[in-house]
Structure 1
Amino acid sequence: MTLFKTFAMAGSVMLSAIVVPAATAAEPAASTAPPSDALDPAKLEVARQIIATGYPVDKREAIFSNAIDAMLVQMRSTMLSSLKNDPGAEKLVNAKVDSFIGESKTILNGHIPALMDAMAQAYSREFSLAELTELKAFADTPAGQHFFLRNSAVLSDPSFRAANEAYMRELMPTIDKMRDAIVRDLTAYFAKNPPKPSSGS
């Protein structure tokens, strides 16, 4: 049971982490990724079987999309609370967010295969062959398949949503303070050091 709890937590963290790149237009896969040829082939094979069973190809897009949507609802509730007295401004911001998220999901969908295989590689590094075999056996059960497919639904659960929104409400002043400080300091810095063209331009 301890192993299962560890794996469940890892899955939850993974889904939460996906939301961030999706909402910030993640860059293409970094060239600093560990070489896959250093992996144990036997462990990697079992890990890929876990991913194939737990995250069926035809359901992956929905799994990731649902996780993003669940977190976005909570983010809107917290971040747009100050615009509730201005329907016009709230509508404008929501429209921009909707457009951005739509484009972000399109980008994310193109990266899902690579993300899934990278996840399998991570499993092969993190768990022993015996542990992976045990996890594969769980993934093959109805309960295991239900866990994988519905894991992101936890983000929409009323209890989790209320707790997460309370956390974000308390965090927002800190985020605002950091944003203002970064804008102030960068403005002062670039006034003395004009920005250089990016390497991608």
Structure 2
Amino acid sequence: MADYEIRKLGLDDAITEFDCGDDYLNDFIINDAPLYRRALLAMTYVLENKDSGKIVAYFSVANDRISIKDFPTSTDFNCFRKHKFVNEKRLRSYPAIKICRLGIDKTIQGQQIGTFLIDFVGTMFVTDNKSGCRFLTVDAYSQAIPFYLKNDFAFLSSEDDGQRTRLMYFDLSDIDG
């Protein structure tokens, strides 16, 4: 990773080419990321080759929450929060950061870059958590579920089983900060 640096995508940065094999993710980084930033909806970070300046990966994050509405029943939510918040104040929702998009250039896929970026996001919010958040969330494409499971994400509920995407979470308290 010494050849790369992670930086916040600037408002005036123009990404003209990126190919992670997913047209939707490619289009976002090329056309939409600055618009989301200007609208204060998501912040995008890029992994850039220090020598060539080529963007080889990116991720976007936005505020999220895990709430009672994410569970099929209030009993399911109560089981979730009792397991996570033993003897602590129990709320109706808990702050989270959503990994909205994660794309890795096809030329470097399979080199643990995705895991590196997930670890980076988690550490970023544990060590410099300016507003407080407890979880990372993601709406994982069905084909990406094994990747997120390998990175210790869990399914929030079984209600979305068999869908195109599944809501998954990672508990940031599992990271030593």
Normalising TM by the smaller chain, what interval? Answer: under 0.3
Q: Which has the higher strand share?
A: 2
TM-score, structure 1 as length reference: 0.19
TM-score, structure 2 as length reference: 0.20
Bigger-Rg structure (1/2) = 1
Q: Which has the higher helix share?
A: 1
Q: Which has the higher contact order (CA 8 A, sep 6+)?
A: 1
